């Protein structure tokens, strides 16, 4: 079993690259972390919505998807997470996650990720926040396709899942 762990806020091309690498090796579990997180700018989509994004992207390909609530306790995270994702080999491109799992004697396979800076979740969310005031669908799609798979872009647009970022940010202090 190969395991890909992430928050998937949203599911972007970096995640797609990792999941593709795991799927090529056989049975794959995709573990959605912070499944209980309240809706914030860092966690705008529910675990069920993130699972929908992933399933749309998978387009019928088989993978087990589990949701893992965070315990905010890194030394005990791997033991906690294993109860949800089971044993196997973690497939990751994140140094911190790699170290956390290796320190727990969990097998880890490193996957090089090109354009890592472009595929960091916070950067993707910041771009989406800027786009959340744009209502021209073709323009939205064109910008989002640089970092998000087409099926997920369509899901974000079709489910009005992008525009909540604007309403969530209205009460935040803005610089400028």
Q: Which residues of 12-45 are buried (b: 16+ CB within 10 A; e: fewer)?
A: bbbbbbbbebbbeeeebbbbbbbbebeeeeebbb
The domain total for the chain is 2
Question: Is 175 a residue whose pLDDT tops 60?
Answer: no
Tell whether 90 is covered by a domain: yes
- Average pLDDT (17-34) is 96
Task: Please report whether residue 173 resides in a domain.
Answer: no
Three-state secondary-structure class, residue 49: helix
Q: Is there a domain that residue 100 lies in?
A: yes
Mean pLDDT of 80-107: 96
Task: Tell me the per-residue pLDDT of 30-47, one tens digit each, with 9 for 90 and over.
Answer: 999 999 988 888 899 999
State the pLDDT at residue 69. 97
Considering the domain architecture, whether residues 17 and 99 belong to the same structural domain is answered as: yes
pLDDT in tens, 100-110: 999 999 999 99
Q: Do 50 and 101 sit in the same domain of this protein?
A: yes
- 150 within some domain: yes
Do residues 12 and 83 share a domain? Answer: yes
- Residue that finishes a domain, picked among 110, 137, 159: 110
Residue at a domain's end among 62, 81, 110: 110
Q: How far apart are CA 66 and CA 76, in angstroms?
A: 18
pLDDT tens digits, one per residue of 112-142: 977 777 778 888 888 888 888 888 889 889 9
pLDDT digits (tens, 9 = 90+) for 143-174: 999 999 999 999 999 998 888 787 776 655 54
Q: Provide the residue range defining the domain that includes 152.
A: 116-168
Q: How far apart are CA 88 and CA 91, in angstroms?
A: 10
Predicted local confidence at residue 41, as pLDDT: 83
Average pLDDT over residues 81-93: 97
Count other Cβ atoms within 10 Å, centred on residue 174: 6
150 versus 74: which is more confidently predicted? Answer: 150
Which pTM was predicted? 0.90
User: Residues 72, 36: one domain?
Assistant: yes
For β-strands 28-32 and 89-92, DSSP reports them as: unpaired
Residues 143 and 129 in one domain: yes
DSSP character at residue 119: G
């Amino acid at each position: 079993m190969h395991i890909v762990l992430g928050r998937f806020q949203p599911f972007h091309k970096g995640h797609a690259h990792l999941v593709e690498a795991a799927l090529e090796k056989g049975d794959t579990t995709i573990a959605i972390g912070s499944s209980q997180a309240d809706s914030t700018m860092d966690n705008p989509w529910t675990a069920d919505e993130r699972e929908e994004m992933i399933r749309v992207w998978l387009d019928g390909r088989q993978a087990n998807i589990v949701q893992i609530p965070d315990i905010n306790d890194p030394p005990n995270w791997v033991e906690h997470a294993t109860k949800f994702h089971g044993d196997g080999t973690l497939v990751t491109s994140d140094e911190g996650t790699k170290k956390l799992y290796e320190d727990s004697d969990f097998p880890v396979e490193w996957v090089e990720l090109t354009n890592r800076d472009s595929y960091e979740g916070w950067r993707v969310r910041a771009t989406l926040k800027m786009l959340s005031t744009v209502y021209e669908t073709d323009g939205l799609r064109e910008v989002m396709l640089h970092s998000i798979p087409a099926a997920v872009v369509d899901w974000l647009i079709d489910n009005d899942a992008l525009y909540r970022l604007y309403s969530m940010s209205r009460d935040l202090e803005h610089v400028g």
